[in-house]
Each structure stands twice: as structure tokens, then as C-alpha cells.
């Protein structure tokens, strides 16, 4: 049986393409392929029924050439070392693309949070934090929420870390509740960045946003925020999906009704007047803008030829394989890649970190204004890189991110 490509295989393939474009020294490529530190911990906790259960936790710290490690923590059954290495590497490139002073990291615990109580999740989070105490910190590694973690998870991490230090350290994590140092605008930041990139992509293609048909795979925090903002910009949301399946209406879904139904039932299916479709069918719908905002490897060589979107704006990390992007680009599909499109979250995380370090609190208008500036500049920087090297936007984003890391690395040199 043929081995299925892993997320880290995709990273290596992307890096090799970039290395060829930038004519990088092979030794530099080897350095970029290798995470600086890999941490694997066994996390024992007492379950509600009194049993002791041991979970496996990870933290991969890829690169700190441009600043402290930065990256989310996810709770998901599929979490493994290969996935963490890929996501940490993408985070390094992403922070460089939007030009914020961070390196990349990623963490996670292999678990099913949907089957765990709030108490079990709190004990899991606090134990995991205690086991990583010497590896994280405001100037070393600053975690954030990711898949199936949230502001409450970050509050538990912050409190655990602060208890060990003996004083409050809000800047140890970002994505916290407002009440304990979180930033205004953080909840919608990633989705807002996706919407801004979709708007800038439409401008580049010379298309008016009004009436454009949008399909969103993954109607979670990112997908919801992007859908709402694009709807406000005049787009028509024709299909959305969650892990259980999707709904479709070519005339446009009533977003308020969809949100209310999802809140009441916990799923999208069953909404009166909307056709039920699978996630696979949703990806292949004819539309103007497709936003894959679920998990990795949703668009592959196997289904790329059936994708009928004019533009893809990647809300998730690694939703398209390199081979799929190649097929789509040859067909004229304009792709705004993940490390640009979903960088709104890490950008506002950076704003939160700055606010915490200075013990300030900015208004939502201020945060959104700064985010707009950062995302628009990053989009234009990637577009210029695309023109300079004669490559698609995805390759251009990787070229830009890697080049900024390489330039900084060369200035620092190698110790000793």
C-alpha cells in the first residue's frame, strides 16, 4: 500500500522548492528542516471516575532566529509528532511573512476533548503546563489556542505558570479571556485576516465583492468569523460545513439562521430549506471563493481537478497539499496560502503580548486597525514576491517567509 503523505512531507517539499528559487546553501536547508527542540511528555491525570489515564503531549520548537517561539496548542485524537513538526515549521514561516518578531512552535495533546469533562480538561491542561514549565515563558515560548482549545484553556495555562512563578504573568500565553489580559478582537482575528485576504485577492483579480459566492469548510471559530465578515462585505455564503457535514443553498444561506441553528443543535445539518451535503461534496461546489478552514490535507491530488472555485483562501493550516496547489494553479485558481491567509490570529496574539508586556489594553478599533495594516502589507509583500520570482502566491509566501528567516540567521551566524 502506498504511504500517505504526511504534513511534514509537505513542509519538506515546500522547503525544497523555496531552496531552489532562493539558491540556498544545502547546509542552511538542513538547518531549516530540523526543529531546534522536540519535547514529548506523558501526562497522567485522574479522570472523573477515579481512573488514572496517561495522555501523550508534545511541544515542538522550530526556530527562534527572529524572536520567541510562538504557536498554538491543540487537543485532538490525531495529534502526533509529525503533525507538530509541520505546524511548528509553518508557524516560523507565517510569523516571518507578516513580519512579527516570533519564531515558530506548536504543541498538542493526543486526546478527544469532546469525550472529556471540563474538570478533566482543566487537570490535563494544568499538568501539561507544569511539565513544560521550563520550556515556555514570555521571552522563550508563548503558546496560544488552536483546535479544540480556547481562551479558558489559556487562562488555566497562565494561572498554572503564574502559581509556580509566584506572581501574575499574563504575557506567557495569548488568546486569553479579556478579564485576565486578553486582547480585544482576538476571537475573530484569524477569520478577519482570512476575510481581508479574500477582499485583497478579489481586488487583485479585479472582481467586485458584492454577490460573490463563498463556500466555507469548517464552521468553527475561524470559518464563522470569516463568513460573517465576508457577508458584511456583500458576499453570498452559499455553503458551510462542520465535522458532521454541511448545508448548501445556491441562492445564499441566511447566516443569522445558520448561526442560531448551530447554537441550538450543535450541528449544521437539519436546517430547514438547506440541502445537506458531505464535506467532500462541499469542496467541489462551484463558487467564487472557497475557504478551507478545517484540518490539513483536505484538498489533494485526488480531488484537486474537481475543485471549481475561482479563488481559494486557506483558513486552516496546510489544507492543500503541494501537488494539489500545483494542479489548481495550472488551472488558473488564485490561491491565498495558509501562512498568509490565517496569519491574523498570530498577529493579534503579538498585539496581545505587547499589551501585556506594557500592561496596556487597546480598544477593538485600534486592534482591528493595526491588523488591517499588517494583513494588507503582508498580502502586498507576497504579491510582489510572486511577481519578482514568477511564482504562485503560495510559493511566494514560503519564499518570503524563509528568506526573512535566512537573512536573520546569516546575520546572527552560528554559535560557537
* pLDDT reading at 57 higher than 60: yes
Q: Which pLDDT belongs to residue 10?
A: 82
User: Residue 227 sits in a domain of what CATH number?
Assistant: 3.40.50.720
Report the range of poorest mean pLDDT among 55-69, 119-133, 156-170, 279-293. 279-293
Q: Which pLDDT belongs to residue 1?
A: 52
Write down the residue that cell numbers 488552536 correspond to: 146
Tens of pLDDT, residue by residue over 182-233, are 999 998 999 999 999 999 999 999 999 999 999 999 998 899 999 999 999 9
In angstroms, the CA 359 to CA 377 distance is 27
Q: What pLDDT band is residue 3 in, cutting at 50, 70 and 90?
A: low
Report the range of poorest mean pLDDT among 95-109, 187-201, 257-271. 257-271
Q: Judge whether 195 lies within some domain.
A: yes
User: Residue 127 sits in a domain of what CATH number?
Assistant: 3.40.50.10860
* pLDDT reading at 2 higher than 70: no
Comparing C-alpha atoms, which of 357, 354, 319 is closest to residue 336?
319
Q: Provide Rg for the chain, Cα atoms.
A: 21
Q: Are residues 61 and 129 in the same domain?
A: yes
Domain around 55: 35-171
The mean pLDDT value of the chain amounts to 94
Q: What pLDDT band is residue 100 in, cutting at 50, 70 and 90?
A: very high
DSSP 182: P
Q: Are residues 45 and 101 in the same domain?
A: yes
Q: Across-strand partners of 39? A: 59
| SS3 assignment, position 398 | helix
Q: Are residues 246 and 316 in the same domain?
A: yes
Q: Which pLDDT belongs to residue 387?
A: 95
Q: Which of 341, 356, 383 is the last residue of a domain?
A: 341
Average the pLDDT over 341-353 and give the result: 96
What stretch of H or E contains 130? helix 118-131
What stretch of H or E contains 161? helix 151-165
Q: Count CB-CB contacts under 10 A for residue 41.
A: 18
Q: Are residues 245 and 277 in the same domain?
A: yes
Q: Are residues 83 and 218 in the same domain?
A: no
Comparing C-alpha atoms, which of 99, 94, 97, 194 is closest to residue 144?
94
In angstroms, the CA 48 to CA 119 distance is 8
Using a pLDDT cut of 90, give the percent of the chain over it. Answer: 83
Tens of pLDDT, residue by residue over 378-395, are 999 999 999 999 999 999
Q: Are residues 311 and 220 in the same domain?
A: yes
Residue 13's region, left for phi above 0, alpha for psi from -120 to 50, else beta, is: alpha
Number of domains making up the chain: 2
Q: Which pLDDT belongs to residue 274?
A: 84
Q: Across-strand partners of 242? A: 245
Residue 136's region, left for phi above 0, alpha for psi from -120 to 50, else beta, is: beta
Q: Which of 306, 341, 376 is the last residue of a domain?
A: 341
Burial-class residue 50 by CB neighbours within 10 Å (0-12, 13-18, 19+).
exposed
Active site residues: 106
Q: Which of 341, 368, 396 is the last residue of a domain?
A: 341
In angstroms, the CA 266 to CA 268 distance is 7
Verdict on whether the full-model pTM lies above 0.75: yes
Q: Are residues 268 and 317 in the same domain?
A: yes
* pLDDT reading at 296 higher than 60: yes
Q: Which pLDDT belongs to residue 318?
A: 82
Q: Which pLDDT belongs to residue 70?
A: 98
User: In the structure grid, which three cell numbers stand for residue 163, read together?
Assistant: 502559581
DSSP 168: -
Amino acid at each position: 500500500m502506498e504511504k500517505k503523505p504526511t504534513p511534514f512531507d509537505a513542509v519538506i517539499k515546500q522547503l525544497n522548492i523555496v531552496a531552489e528559487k532562493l539558491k540556498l546553501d544545502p547546509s542552511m536547508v538542513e538547518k531549516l528542516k530540523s526543529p531546534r527542540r522536540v519535547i514529548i511528555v506523558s501526562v497522567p491525570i485522574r479522570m472523573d471516575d477515579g481512573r488514572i489515564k496517561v495522555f501523550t503531549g508534545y511541544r515542538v520548537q522550530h526556530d527562534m532566529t527572529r524572536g520567541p517561539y510562538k504557536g498554538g496548542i491543540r487537543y485532538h485524537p490525531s495529534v502526533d509528532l509529525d503533525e507538530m513538526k509541520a505546524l511548528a515549521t509553518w508557524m516560523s514561516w507565517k510569523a516571518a511573512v507578516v513580519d512579527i518578531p516570533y519564531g515558530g512552535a506548536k504543541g498538542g495533546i493526543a486526546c478527544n476533548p469532546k469525550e472529556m469533562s471540563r474538570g478533566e480538561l482543566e487537570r490535563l491542561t494544568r499538568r501539561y503546563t507544569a511539565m513544560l514549565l521550563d520550556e515556555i515563558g514570555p521571552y522563550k515560548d508563548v503558546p496560544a489556542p488552536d483546535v479544540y482549545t480556547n481562551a479558558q484553556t489559556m487562562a488555566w495555562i497562565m494561572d498554572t505558570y503564574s502559581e509556580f512563578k509566584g506572581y501574575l504573568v499574563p504575557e506567557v500565553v495569548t488568546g486569553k479571556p479579556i478579564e485576565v489580559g486578553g486582547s480585544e478582537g482576538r476571537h475573530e482575528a484569524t477569520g478577519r485576516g482570512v476575510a481581508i485576504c479574500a477582499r485583497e485577492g478579489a481586488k487583485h483579480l479585479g472582481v467586485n465583492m458584492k454577490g460573490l459566492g463563498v463556500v466555507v469548510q469548517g464552521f468553527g471559530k475561524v470559518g464563522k468569523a470569516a463568513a460573517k465578515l465576508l457577508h458584511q462585505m456583500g458576499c453570498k455564503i452559499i455553503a458551510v460545513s462542520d465535522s458532521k457535514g454541511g448545508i448548501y443553498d445556491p441562492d445564499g444561506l441566511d447566516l443569522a439562521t445558520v448561526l442560531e441553528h448551530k447554537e441550538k443543535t450543535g450541528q449544521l445539518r437539519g436546517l430547514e430549506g438547506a440541502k445537506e451535503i458531505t464535506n467532500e461534496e462541499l469542496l467541489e461546489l462551484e463558487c467564487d471563493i472557497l475557504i478551507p478552514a478545517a484540518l490539513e490535507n483536505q484538498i489533494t491530488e485526488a480531488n484537486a481537478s474537481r475543485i471549481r472555485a475561482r479563488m481559494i483562501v486557506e483558513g486552516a493550516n496546510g489544507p492543500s497539499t503541494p501537488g494539489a496547489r500545483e494542479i489548481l494553479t495550472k488551472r488558473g485558481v488564485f490561491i491565498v496560502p495558509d501562512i498568509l491567509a490565517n496569519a491574523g490570529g498570530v498577529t493579534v496574539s503579538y498585539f496581545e503580548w505587547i499589551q501585556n508586556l506594557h500592561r496596556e489594553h487597546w480598544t477593538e478599533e485600534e486592534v482591528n486597525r493595526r491588523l488591517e495594516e499588517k494583513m494588507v502589507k503582508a498580502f502586498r509583500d507576497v504579491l510582489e514576491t510572486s511577481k519578482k520570482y514568477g511564482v504562485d502566491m503560495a510559493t511566494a509566501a514560503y519564499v518570503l517567509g524563509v528568506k526573512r528567516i535566512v537573512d536573520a540567521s546569516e546575520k546572527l551566524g552560528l554559535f560557537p
